[in-house]
Amino acid sequence: MIDTGNMRILSATARLNRGRWFVSLQVEEKHALVKVARPDAAVGIDLGIKTLAVLADSEGVLGAEPNPRHLDRAQKQLRRASRVVSRRWEKANQARNKIHHRVANLREDTLHRMTTRLACEYGTIVVEDLGVAGMGRNRRLSRRVADAAFGEIRRQLTYKTRRRGTRLVVADRWYPSSKTCSRCGAVKTKLPLSVRVFECDNCGLVLGRDANAGHNLVALAARTTGTGAAGDLDLATAKSKPRGADRKTRVTRPRRKAGTGRAGGAIPSPRAGKETGDRQQDTGAQLAP
Protein backbone atom coordinates (compact mmCIF):
# COMPACT_ATOMS: atom_id res chain seq x y z
CA MET A 1 0.00 0.00 0.00
CA ILE A 2 2.94 2.32 0.61
CA ASP A 3 4.34 1.56 -2.86
CA THR A 4 0.99 2.35 -4.51
CA GLY A 5 0.70 5.64 -2.63
CA ASN A 6 -2.39 4.66 -0.57
CA MET A 7 -0.57 4.82 2.78
CA ARG A 8 2.24 6.75 4.43
CA ILE A 9 3.92 6.22 7.80
CA LEU A 10 3.68 9.18 10.19
CA SER A 11 5.59 7.87 13.22
CA ALA A 12 6.86 4.73 14.95
CA THR A 13 6.92 3.94 18.68
CA ALA A 14 8.86 1.08 20.31
CA ARG A 15 7.73 -0.30 23.68
CA LEU A 16 8.43 -3.24 25.98
CA ASN A 17 5.23 -5.06 26.97
CA ARG A 18 5.10 -8.29 29.03
CA GLY A 19 8.71 -9.08 28.22
CA ARG A 20 8.36 -8.52 24.46
CA TRP A 21 9.27 -5.63 22.21
CA PHE A 22 6.59 -4.08 19.99
CA VAL A 23 6.72 -1.36 17.36
CA SER A 24 3.51 0.64 16.81
CA LEU A 25 3.19 2.47 13.49
CA GLN A 26 0.94 5.49 13.04
CA VAL A 27 -0.14 5.59 9.42
CA GLU A 28 -2.40 7.62 7.17
CA GLU A 29 -4.42 5.46 4.78
CA LYS A 30 -6.75 6.12 1.88
CA HIS A 31 -9.71 3.78 1.79
CA ALA A 32 -13.25 3.81 0.48
CA LEU A 33 -16.31 3.07 2.60
CA VAL A 34 -17.29 -0.61 2.52
CA LYS A 35 -21.02 -1.24 2.35
CA VAL A 36 -22.36 -3.34 5.22
CA ALA A 37 -24.40 -6.49 4.60
CA ARG A 38 -27.65 -5.17 6.13
CA PRO A 39 -27.58 -1.35 6.16
CA ASP A 40 -31.27 -1.03 7.13
CA ALA A 41 -31.05 -3.46 10.05
CA ALA A 42 -30.27 -2.58 13.67
CA VAL A 43 -28.96 -4.72 16.50
CA GLY A 44 -29.07 -4.27 20.27
CA ILE A 45 -26.17 -5.64 22.31
CA ASP A 46 -26.61 -6.51 26.00
CA LEU A 47 -23.18 -7.13 27.52
CA GLY A 48 -22.74 -9.47 30.46
CA ILE A 49 -20.40 -11.83 32.25
CA LYS A 50 -22.22 -15.16 31.96
CA THR A 51 -22.78 -14.48 28.24
CA LEU A 52 -20.44 -11.90 26.74
CA ALA A 53 -23.13 -10.41 24.46
CA VAL A 54 -26.79 -11.15 23.74
CA LEU A 55 -27.74 -9.83 20.29
CA ALA A 56 -31.28 -8.88 19.27
CA ASP A 57 -31.79 -7.41 15.80
CA SER A 58 -34.66 -5.41 14.36
CA GLU A 59 -36.12 -8.53 12.70
CA GLY A 60 -36.60 -10.27 16.05
CA VAL A 61 -33.68 -12.69 15.69
CA LEU A 62 -31.79 -13.48 18.89
CA GLY A 63 -28.14 -14.46 19.05
CA ALA A 64 -25.52 -14.89 21.72
CA GLU A 65 -21.77 -14.52 21.92
CA PRO A 66 -20.34 -16.86 24.61
CA ASN A 67 -17.84 -15.53 27.11
CA PRO A 68 -14.62 -17.57 26.73
CA ARG A 69 -13.28 -16.39 30.14
CA HIS A 70 -9.65 -16.66 29.08
CA LEU A 71 -8.33 -15.36 32.40
CA ASP A 72 -10.34 -17.88 34.44
CA ARG A 73 -9.00 -20.74 32.31
CA ALA A 74 -5.43 -19.59 32.88
CA GLN A 75 -5.74 -19.19 36.67
CA LYS A 76 -4.22 -22.60 37.42
CA GLN A 77 -1.20 -21.86 35.24
CA LEU A 78 -0.82 -18.39 36.73
CA ARG A 79 -0.91 -19.68 40.30
CA ARG A 80 1.76 -22.26 39.51
CA ALA A 81 3.90 -19.66 37.74
CA SER A 82 3.51 -17.20 40.63
CA ARG A 83 4.75 -19.80 43.12
CA VAL A 84 7.81 -20.41 40.97
CA VAL A 85 8.39 -16.65 40.66
CA SER A 86 8.71 -16.37 44.43
CA ARG A 87 11.64 -18.83 44.30
CA ARG A 88 13.27 -18.11 40.95
CA TRP A 89 12.62 -14.57 39.86
CA GLU A 90 13.90 -13.85 36.35
CA LYS A 91 13.08 -17.04 34.43
CA ALA A 92 9.83 -17.63 36.26
CA ASN A 93 8.74 -14.04 35.70
CA GLN A 94 9.24 -14.47 31.97
CA ALA A 95 7.13 -17.64 32.03
CA ARG A 96 4.33 -15.89 33.92
CA ASN A 97 4.42 -12.93 31.54
CA LYS A 98 4.09 -15.37 28.66
CA ILE A 99 0.79 -16.67 30.13
CA HIS A 100 -0.52 -13.13 30.61
CA HIS A 101 0.49 -12.27 27.06
CA ARG A 102 -1.38 -15.28 25.68
CA VAL A 103 -4.52 -14.41 27.66
CA ALA A 104 -4.42 -10.83 26.35
CA ASN A 105 -4.00 -12.04 22.76
CA LEU A 106 -6.91 -14.50 23.06
CA ARG A 107 -9.16 -11.79 24.55
CA GLU A 108 -8.21 -9.32 21.82
CA ASP A 109 -8.85 -11.88 19.09
CA THR A 110 -12.30 -12.73 20.49
CA LEU A 111 -13.37 -9.08 20.74
CA HIS A 112 -12.07 -8.17 17.28
CA ARG A 113 -13.89 -11.09 15.67
CA MET A 114 -17.19 -10.16 17.32
CA THR A 115 -17.03 -6.39 16.73
CA THR A 116 -15.87 -6.77 13.12
CA ARG A 117 -18.71 -9.17 12.35
CA LEU A 118 -21.28 -6.79 13.85
CA ALA A 119 -19.84 -3.70 12.17
CA CYS A 120 -19.82 -5.42 8.77
CA GLU A 121 -23.43 -6.63 9.04
CA TYR A 122 -25.62 -3.97 10.70
CA GLY A 123 -26.28 -0.36 9.76
CA THR A 124 -27.14 0.58 13.36
CA ILE A 125 -25.63 -0.86 16.55
CA VAL A 126 -26.94 -0.08 20.03
CA VAL A 127 -24.77 -0.67 23.10
CA GLU A 128 -25.03 0.23 26.77
CA ASP A 129 -22.98 2.89 28.55
CA LEU A 130 -21.79 0.68 31.40
CA GLY A 131 -20.07 2.02 34.51
CA VAL A 132 -17.07 -0.29 34.17
CA ALA A 133 -15.06 1.49 36.87
CA GLY A 134 -17.86 1.02 39.40
CA MET A 135 -18.42 -2.59 38.38
CA GLY A 136 -14.71 -3.25 38.94
CA ARG A 137 -15.05 -2.30 42.60
CA ASN A 138 -17.12 -5.41 43.24
CA ARG A 139 -14.66 -7.88 44.75
CA ARG A 140 -16.57 -10.90 43.47
CA LEU A 141 -16.91 -9.68 39.88
CA SER A 142 -13.87 -7.44 39.36
CA ARG A 143 -11.72 -10.11 37.69
CA ARG A 144 -14.52 -11.26 35.38
CA VAL A 145 -15.45 -7.68 34.48
CA ALA A 146 -11.82 -6.98 33.57
CA ASP A 147 -11.63 -10.19 31.53
CA ALA A 148 -14.80 -9.33 29.58
CA ALA A 149 -13.35 -5.91 28.60
CA PHE A 150 -16.67 -4.06 28.12
CA GLY A 151 -14.90 -0.75 27.50
CA GLU A 152 -12.76 -2.26 24.73
CA ILE A 153 -15.89 -3.58 22.98
CA ARG A 154 -17.36 -0.09 22.85
CA ARG A 155 -14.05 1.43 21.69
CA GLN A 156 -13.73 -1.02 18.81
CA LEU A 157 -17.35 -0.56 17.75
CA THR A 158 -16.87 3.22 17.76
CA TYR A 159 -14.07 3.34 15.20
CA LYS A 160 -15.29 0.36 13.15
CA THR A 161 -18.76 1.86 12.63
CA ARG A 162 -17.19 5.22 11.76
CA ARG A 163 -14.95 3.50 9.24
CA ARG A 164 -17.98 1.97 7.50
CA GLY A 165 -20.22 5.02 7.74
CA THR A 166 -22.78 3.31 10.00
CA ARG A 167 -24.38 4.49 13.26
CA LEU A 168 -23.49 3.60 16.82
CA VAL A 169 -26.11 4.48 19.47
CA VAL A 170 -24.99 4.44 23.11
CA ALA A 171 -27.86 3.91 25.53
CA ASP A 172 -27.90 6.09 28.61
CA ARG A 173 -26.26 4.55 31.67
CA TRP A 174 -29.53 4.69 33.62
CA TYR A 175 -31.77 3.46 30.80
CA PRO A 176 -33.77 0.54 32.34
CA SER A 177 -33.21 -1.96 29.53
CA SER A 178 -33.52 -4.97 31.83
CA LYS A 179 -36.46 -3.63 33.86
CA THR A 180 -38.64 -2.63 30.88
CA CYS A 181 -41.00 -5.13 29.24
CA SER A 182 -40.08 -5.41 25.56
CA ARG A 183 -43.71 -6.18 24.64
CA CYS A 184 -45.89 -3.65 26.49
CA GLY A 185 -43.33 -1.17 27.86
CA ALA A 186 -44.19 -1.63 31.54
CA VAL A 187 -41.25 -0.87 33.81
CA LYS A 188 -40.43 -2.72 37.01
CA THR A 189 -39.27 -0.67 39.95
CA LYS A 190 -36.79 -3.30 41.10
CA LEU A 191 -35.18 -6.28 39.39
CA PRO A 192 -32.33 -7.86 41.39
CA LEU A 193 -29.34 -9.22 39.50
CA SER A 194 -30.10 -12.70 40.84
CA VAL A 195 -33.35 -12.79 38.82
CA ARG A 196 -32.31 -14.03 35.37
CA VAL A 197 -35.82 -14.38 33.88
CA PHE A 198 -37.98 -11.31 33.25
CA GLU A 199 -41.69 -11.78 34.06
CA CYS A 200 -44.02 -8.89 33.18
CA ASP A 201 -46.83 -8.30 35.67
CA ASN A 202 -48.80 -6.37 33.05
CA CYS A 203 -48.89 -8.55 29.91
CA GLY A 204 -47.44 -11.82 31.27
CA LEU A 205 -44.32 -11.89 29.09
CA VAL A 206 -41.72 -14.42 30.28
CA LEU A 207 -38.31 -13.96 28.68
CA GLY A 208 -34.67 -14.20 29.58
CA ARG A 209 -33.36 -11.07 31.27
CA ASP A 210 -30.58 -10.49 28.73
CA ALA A 211 -32.82 -11.25 25.73
CA ASN A 212 -35.42 -8.78 27.01
CA ALA A 213 -32.73 -6.11 27.41
CA GLY A 214 -31.49 -6.78 23.87
CA HIS A 215 -34.98 -6.22 22.43
CA ASN A 216 -35.31 -2.94 24.33
CA LEU A 217 -31.92 -1.74 23.10
CA VAL A 218 -32.70 -2.42 19.45
CA ALA A 219 -36.04 -0.62 19.89
CA LEU A 220 -34.11 2.36 21.22
CA ALA A 221 -32.46 2.77 17.80
CA ALA A 222 -35.78 3.75 16.22
CA ARG A 223 -36.37 6.40 18.94
CA THR A 224 -33.07 8.24 18.49
CA THR A 225 -32.85 11.16 16.12
CA GLY A 226 -29.65 10.14 14.37
CA THR A 227 -27.13 11.99 16.50
CA GLY A 228 -26.14 8.76 18.19
CA ALA A 229 -26.73 10.25 21.64
CA ALA A 230 -28.39 7.95 24.10
CA GLY A 231 -30.62 10.51 25.74
CA ASP A 232 -31.65 12.21 22.48
CA LEU A 233 -35.07 10.57 22.32
CA ASP A 234 -38.32 11.58 20.76
CA LEU A 235 -40.31 13.23 23.51
CA ALA A 236 -43.60 12.18 21.93
CA THR A 237 -42.77 8.51 22.41
CA ALA A 238 -41.23 8.86 25.86
CA LYS A 239 -43.24 7.18 28.61
CA SER A 240 -43.40 7.95 32.28
CA LYS A 241 -41.60 5.56 34.57
CA PRO A 242 -42.30 4.60 38.18
CA ARG A 243 -40.06 5.93 40.88
CA GLY A 244 -36.70 4.14 40.88
CA ALA A 245 -37.13 2.59 37.42
CA ASP A 246 -34.33 4.67 35.92
CA ARG A 247 -31.83 3.55 38.54
CA LYS A 248 -29.64 0.49 38.47
CA THR A 249 -30.31 -2.19 41.07
CA ARG A 250 -27.79 -1.81 43.86
CA VAL A 251 -27.02 -3.95 46.85
CA THR A 252 -27.03 -1.74 49.94
CA ARG A 253 -26.07 -2.62 53.47
CA PRO A 254 -28.66 -2.06 56.23
CA ARG A 255 -27.93 0.98 58.31
CA ARG A 256 -26.88 0.55 61.91
CA LYS A 257 -29.45 1.75 64.39
CA ALA A 258 -28.19 4.42 66.72
CA GLY A 259 -28.60 3.56 70.37
CA THR A 260 -27.56 4.99 73.71
CA GLY A 261 -24.02 5.06 75.00
CA ARG A 262 -20.79 4.90 73.03
CA ALA A 263 -22.20 2.46 70.43
CA GLY A 264 -25.01 4.81 69.47
CA GLY A 265 -23.06 6.97 67.06
CA ALA A 266 -21.12 10.21 67.29
CA ILE A 267 -21.37 12.17 70.54
CA PRO A 268 -21.24 15.95 70.05
CA SER A 269 -18.37 17.66 71.76
CA PRO A 270 -19.04 20.09 74.62
CA ARG A 271 -17.73 22.91 72.44
CA ALA A 272 -20.20 22.08 69.67
CA GLY A 273 -23.07 22.17 72.16
CA LYS A 274 -21.85 25.47 73.54
CA GLU A 275 -21.66 26.98 70.05
CA THR A 276 -25.17 25.74 69.33
CA GLY A 277 -26.44 27.28 72.51
CA ASP A 278 -24.73 30.55 71.70
CA ARG A 279 -26.38 30.66 68.28
CA GLN A 280 -29.77 30.02 69.84
CA GLN A 281 -29.26 32.82 72.31
CA ASP A 282 -28.27 35.23 69.54
CA THR A 283 -31.36 34.30 67.52
CA GLY A 284 -33.55 34.89 70.54
CA ALA A 285 -31.95 38.25 71.10
CA GLN A 286 -32.73 39.34 67.59
CA LEU A 287 -36.38 38.27 67.86
CA ALA A 288 -36.89 40.07 71.18
CA PRO A 289 -38.80 43.37 70.89
Among 90, 210, 246, 282, the one annotated catalytic: 210
What ranges in 88-208 are assigned the alpha helix state H? 89-121, 132-135, 142-148, 150-163
The dihedral built from the CA positions of residue 49, 55, 61 and 66, taken in this order, carries a sign that is: negative
Beta partners for residue 233, in sequence order: 224
Among 40, 46, 201, 246, the one annotated catalytic: 46
Mean pLDDT for each 10-residue chunk of the chain (289 residues)? 86 87 91 82 90 90 91 90 77 84 93 95 92 84 89 94 92 90 91 89 91 92 59 40 51 48 44 43 40
Q: Is 234 a catalytic residue?
A: no
Among 57, 65, 128, 147, the one annotated catalytic: 128
- CA distance linking residue 84 with residue 179, whole number of Å: 48
Q: How many CA atoms lie within 13 A of 137 on its CB side?
A: 5
Element at 284 (helix H, strand E): helix 270-287
Structure confidence at residue 246 (pLDDT): 52
Structure confidence at residue 245 (pLDDT): 52
Q: Is 109 a catalytic residue?
A: no
- What's the whole-model pTM score? 0.58
Q: Is 210 a catalytic residue?
A: yes
